[in-house]
């Protein structure tokens, strides 16, 4: 690459990043995250505060005990955590488990619906 092309190629991403950083967020991206993207020592309160600041809309796999914390920061608990549907060896993927898990799944669906949680994960 010749020098005349190298420097403009080097500066273009830097200028684009600076322009993007000053552009107001329009909220068109509906991004959700999990606790795993934050440092382990960070409290849920701090995670929520930072997520809201970044424009994140939702947290996945957060249990009912923590839903009020999410809601205080304007975040949605977007996915009920694993549990009511079992794990891979003992979940709904096996017919023999259906009757045993039905009561727990129905209770989780009712709890999720009452709290605005749109999804439940199961295996």
DSSP characters for 46-94? HHHHHHHHHT--EEES--GGGHHHHHHTT-EEEEBPSSTT--GGGSTTS
Phi, psi of 77 (to 5 degrees): -75, 100
pTM of the predicted model over 0.75: no
Give the pair of three-digit tokens for residue 25: 């967020």
- Range from 18-22, 57-61, 89-93, 115-119 carrying the lowest mean pLDDT: 18-22
Answer whether residue 72 shows pLDDT above 80: yes
Tell me what pLDDT residue 68 has. 95
Nearest to 51 by CA among 22, 79, 30, 20: 30
**Burial letters 10-20, b for 16+ CB under 10 A, else e:** eeeeeeeeeee
Which range is least confidently modeled, 25-29, 33-37, 70-74, 116-120? 25-29
Eight-state DSSP code of residue 62: -
């Amino acid at each position: 690459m010749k020098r005349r092309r190298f420097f403009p190629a080097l500066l273009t991403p830097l200028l684009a990043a600076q322009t993007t950083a000053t552009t107001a967020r329009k909220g068109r991206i509906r991004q959700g995250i999990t606790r795993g993207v934050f440092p382990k020592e960070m409290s849920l309160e701090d995670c929520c505060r930072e997520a809201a600041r970044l424009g994140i809309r939702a947290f996945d796999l957060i249990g009912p005990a923590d839903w009020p914390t999410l809601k205080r920061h304007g975040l949605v608990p977007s996915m009920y955590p694993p549990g009511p549907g079992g794990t891979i060896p003992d979940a709904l993927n096996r017919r023999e488990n259906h009757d045993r898990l039905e009561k727990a799944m129905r209770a989780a669906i009712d709890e999720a619906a009452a709290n605005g949680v749109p999804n439940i994960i199961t295996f």
